[in-house]
Amino acid sequence: MKVTEREFGVLDGQVVTEFCLENDNGVRVKALDYGGIVTETWAPDVTGNFTNVSLGFKTLDEYLEHSPYFGALVGRIAGRIENARFELDGKVYELTKNEGENQLHGGPNNFSKTIWDAASLERDDEVGVVFSMTSPDGHNGYPGNLDVRVTYTLNNANEWKIKYEAASDVTTVFNPTNHIYFNLTGDVAKTVLDQTLQVRSDRIVALREDSIPTGELMDVAGTAFDLREPRPIRDGATSEHPQNIIIKNGYDHAFVLNHAPNQADARLVDPQSGRVVEMETDCDSVVIYSGNQLSGKFAIDGTPVPKYAGVTMETQGLPDSMNNDGFGSAVLKEGETFQSETVFRFTTI
């Protein structure tokens, strides 16, 4: 196993580096110190042919110009915060708005737009890269100087692990994620509609038309959101359920996870190539987004990106929990350390 580095571009006079993690099986994960962006993930099909199974651009300029959050770290708070405000310990915090009256993914110049400090690591059983940064007090409206460390590792079990750690000098809120899009065909011209998805969940966070949570945890039974058994992503895209329609036909919802020992929380399968990604996490939910709004806005390596070009599995706490009772807590207390881990395992049928 090894880690290699190359210059990917230059931003404001600072070199942006791409780290390539490669295991002994030929599986590779490439990531930038800009935004922690995963640019490529290479995995084999059932015949051993490798291809890149995630969406990403070839140049830094494209990442700067477009904002689909391909492969990026987002935070401090993933998802949308209603009216870009929340109350903590009796004080109301007004956040920077970047989606109408709301805040999305931590606001402008969030984690995905930051050049992180980065250091490679090589151990007997894994290789990786450690990203670290300090989000200053008041950035995008959030309290506290927040020290964040995110570690990507790859091992010979073909597991890409993301470990999040954070601490603040005052009590604050924190709920990060990684916004990687998978397309297991390896062909961006092909959609993920015929790939199957299974998620250990019997409830989703219902949304308003502006994608803000209603506060309801909706039972998935009898709907296209029932992914307890594998079903094609196409079912969500063609569903006439109001929750599928309001987010432009598909999925863009947090699924409340029912964890079970030694079982994947989610499983994405491409029946044609036989490629599989299994996801395990200690987070309370995973946001499944089927690329409903990707269509025609940009190209990857010269190929126009179609609607449904990729699907995300964004592991996180439930969205906008500060403004919704029963959604758990995103509070990170002074003196405490936030820790969370997500694993993506590349395998075949």
SS3 string of the chain?
A: CEEEEEEEEEECCEEEEEEEEECCCCCEEEEECECCCEEEEEEECCCCCEEECECCCCCHHHHHHCCCCCCCEECCECCEEHHHEEEECCEEEECCCCECCEEECCCCCCHHHCECEEEEEECCCCEEEEEEEEECCCHHHCCCCEEEEEEEEECCCCEEEEEEEEEECCCEECECEECCEECCCCCCCCCCCCCEEEECEEEEEEECCCCCEEEEEEECCCCCCCCCCCEECHHHHHCCCHHHHCCCCCCEEEEEECCCCCCCCEEEECCCCCEEEEEEECCCEEEEECCCCCCCCCEECCEECCCCCCEEEEEECCCCHHHCCCCCCCEECCCCCEEEEEEEEEEEC
Q: What is the mean pLDDT of residues 41-47?
A: 98
Least confident residue range of 197-201, 232-236, 294-298, 333-337? 294-298
105 is catalytic: no
Q: What's the pLDDT band for 129 if we cut at 50, 70, 90?
A: very high
Query: From the annotation, which residues make up the binding site for beta-D-galactose?
Result: 179-181, 252
Residue-level pLDDT at 130: 99
pTM of the entire structure?
A: 0.98
Residue-level pLDDT at 296: 76
pLDDT at residue 277 greater than cutoff 80: yes
Q: What is the mean pLDDT of residues 207-216?
A: 98
Tell me which of 40, 82, 159, 314 is the catalytic residue.
Answer: 314
Q: Which residue segment(s) compose the domain that 136 sits in?
A: 2-348
Query: From the annotation, which residues make up the binding site?
Result: 179-181, 252
Tokens representing 241 are 């359920």
Residue-level pLDDT at 160: 99
CATH number at residue 210: 2.70.98.10
Residue-level pLDDT at 65: 95
Residue-level pLDDT at 314: 99
Q: From the CB of residue 291, how many other CB atoms can be counted at a distance below 10 Å?
A: 27
Tell me which of 105, 139, 179, 253 is the catalytic residue.
Answer: 179
pLDDT at residue 252 greater than cutoff 80: yes
Q: What is the mean pLDDT of residues 110-128?
A: 98
Closest CA to 275 of 51, 55, 56: 51
**How many separate domains does the chain show?**
1
What rounded mean pLDDT belongs to the chain? 98
140-197 residue pLDDT tens? 999 999 999 999 999 999 999 999 999 999 999 999 999 999 999 999 999 999 999 9
Residue-level pLDDT at 295: 83
Residue type at 118 in one-letter notation? A
Q: What's the pLDDT band for 297 if we cut at 50, 70, 90?
A: confident
CB-CB contact of 7 with 20 (8 Å): no
Asked if the peptide bond before residue 200 counts as cis, ω within 30 degrees of 0, the response is no
Least confident residue range of 186-200, 296-310, 325-339? 296-310
Residue-level pLDDT at 127: 99
pLDDT at residue 67 greater than cutoff 90: no
278 is catalytic: no
Residue-level pLDDT at 199: 99
